Structure 1
Amino acid sequence: MNTEADVKEVVRNRYGAAAASVSAGAGGSCCGSASQALGGADPITSNLYDAVQAGELPDTALLASLGCGNPTALAELHPGETVLDLGSGGGIDVLLSAKRVGPTGMAFGLDMTREMLALAEQNKRKSGRTNVFFLRGEIENIPLPDDTVDVIISNCVINLSADKDRVLREAFRVLKPGGRFAVSDVVVRGEVPPAIRRNMELWVGCVAGALSDTDYFAKLQAAGFENAGIEVTRVYGAEDAKEFLATQGEALQELAREVDGKFVSGFVRATKPRQPALAGPSAAAAASSCCGPRRC
């Protein structure tokens, strides 16, 4: 069984190597791409950003992109808002978000990998954006106060955590009342062979740790979120699975047909209620109190 520490160490090492690969090939060569450093993630990470967005970003931000979607294209962002990207990597989605929230807003990126953070800071300097801030930490323990963020985004990172319940509780904690959860993630539809679930390398590739849609909804609800929904943005077929599993052993490669259409990229939305839930006999008294339930 994969422990939380095992998964975290594998993810940290592989993403650190991916960042180093991009930095070494910073001249723009495809040989420096992070997806190649991870070994066969192209079916998931390819063709996520359009030409207009690509033109707004440093080359190294694009090369370091290891997501499964484009949350900034689907998330509703407004000038002046504060955005937090969980697992921000080389900073691509933070930089795009910073432009949309404008100079009166702020865009934070959180990552646990020193090499990725160094690359993100480099990309921030190249972009010239002053409303971007990168933090070192883990998405299971977000280093921000309660009720400080308007929107949380993430790009194929929550599925990498072995403790998703804690990640979602932390996301709920730092969001302001009425705040939005708007992330891209890999989601499972149907049963997945146990061999794929156990494979540590596939955790790094966003597959082994993916939740089913029903599990995702249940965990969001347990964390306190409401209005949860998933919009499918890409379906991975047998050919995608073969490409993704090309670097694995023959036994796993033979499973490609069994996972045809079972993995999808999805845009997951939910909101934090504007008012805290009240229950029990104290609810009426708290609601009528002039100081309100939180201060009391």
Structure 2
Amino acid sequence: MKENQDLKELVKQRYNELALDSDTLKGCCCGKSPAPPSKKVFTIMSEDYKNLKGYEPDADLGVGCGLPTQYANIKKGDTVIDLGSGAGNDCFIARSEVGESGKVIGIDFAPQMIAKARANALKRGYTNVEFLEGDIENMPLPDNTADVIVSNCVLNLLPQKNIIFKEIYRALKPGGHFCISDVVLNGIFPKEFTDNAAMYAGCIASAIQKEDYLAEIEKVNFTNIRVERTKTVIIPDEVLYEHLDENTIQKYKSGNVGIYSITVTGEKQ
């Protein structure tokens, strides 16, 4: 339990730093390490939002691994929750889809991210977007709140995915659904790779096997579970050498393994 809490604190620190740095630095969560040497930024998993309605460039920190709102079937008047809402990027896109009659709630456990998101919403005069500081393993919301829950490259950062999916089920209204973009693995990775703390904060090492990820969703009794999109994630050598030793890198490269971004949907009956 203490190990899980330590990992969560590491991730929170990383995202507070990203929020503070974001005015001058953008990049995926695998880019700038909490412990330099390198300050080079890599957009390993980030997506191009520019053509999506509601896109706000200063809310896009380049940390997403998919476009969950594209597959979320959000309707006018819906209440949408975004888990790990960051600076508000997916929330503002969801707002353009729910319209003035709907509501969007972003939840993030990094105080600096919440402050940045609230500032972004205030600057634009958005009154139906709310940002709450809280843990997505224990959402500060009542049961049956949302029509749709989305998340973008966040759940894989946290160790207790079974608890998160139970929370998603609890917070959805009957008949509601989720759409999550996340990072999963295929194949057996070197233990030195998956146990690396810096890689953990960088969105990779905390990911679990794709089949295990989908199994956690099934355990919560979601129905119509579908993988809508799969994209291969390639980690540049410079990132590998920043975090791992030569022996671990060679084990990783010689193994029959893959890292993927998937976008998955499911429904609550």
TM-score > 0.5 by shorter chain: yes
Determine if the alignment matches structure 1 residue 61 to structure 2 residue 37: no
CA distance in 2, matches of 1:255, 1:60: 39
Secondary structure (helix, strand or coil) at the match of 2:135 reads coil
Q: How does 1:53-132 map to 2 (within 5 A)?
A: 53=52, 56-62=54-60, 64-132=61-129
**Amino acid of the structure 2 residue aligned with 1:254:** Q
**Amino acid of the structure 1 residue aligned with 2:260:** V
What is the aligned partner in structure 2 of residue 281 from structure 1? Answer: none
Q: How does 1:232-247 map to 2 (within 5 A)?
A: 232-237=229-234, 240-247=235-242
Secondary structure (helix, strand or coil) at the match of 2:85 reads coil
Q: Are the equivalent residues in 2 in contact too, given 1:88–1:111 (CA < 8 A)?
A: yes
Q: Are the equivalent residues in 2 in contact too, given 1:17–1:37 (CA < 8 A)?
A: no
What is the aligned partner in structure 1 of residue 160 from structure 2? Answer: 163
Higher relative contact order (CA 8 A, sep 6+): 2
Secondary structure (helix, strand or coil) at the match of 2:242 reads coil
CA distance in 1, matches of 2:9, 2:122: 29
Query: What displacement does 1:259 show?
Result: 6.0
**Highest CA radius of gyration, 1 or 2?**
1
CA distance in 2, matches of 1:175, 1:60: 29
Query: What displacement does 1:235 show?
Result: 0.7
TM-score normalized by the length of structure 1: 0.81
CA distance in 2, matches of 1:125, 1:98: 14
Query: What displacement does 1:211 show?
Result: 2.1
Query: What displacement does 1:73 show?
Result: 1.8
Q: How does 1:1-296 map to 2 (within 5 A)?
A: 3-23=3-23, 25=24, 32-35=25-28, 36-38=31-33, 42-46=42-46, 48-53=47-52, 56-62=54-60, 64-237=61-234, 240-251=235-246, 252-258=248-254, 262-273=258-269
Q: Are the equivalent residues in 2 in contact too, given 1:108–1:134 (CA < 8 A)?
A: yes
| Structure 1 residue ranges without an equivalent (≥5) | 26-31, 274-296
Secondary structure (helix, strand or coil) at the match of 2:44 reads helix
Secondary structure (helix, strand or coil) at the match of 1:245 reads helix
Query: What displacement does 1:14 show?
Result: 0.7
Query: What displacement does 1:241 show?
Result: 4.5
Query: What displacement does 1:195 show?
Result: 1.3
Alpha-carbon RMSD across the aligned residues, in angstroms, is 2.2
CA distance in 2, matches of 1:264, 1:71: 15
Query: What displacement does 1:204 show?
Result: 1.5
Count of equivalent residues: 261
TM-score normalized by the length of structure 2: 0.89
Per-residue CA distance 1:110-140 (angstroms, 9 max, x = gap) = 0000111111112112333221000010010
Per-residue CA distance 1:68-97 (angstroms, 9 max, x = gap) = 111112211100001101111111001100
Higher normalized helix content (fraction of residues): 1
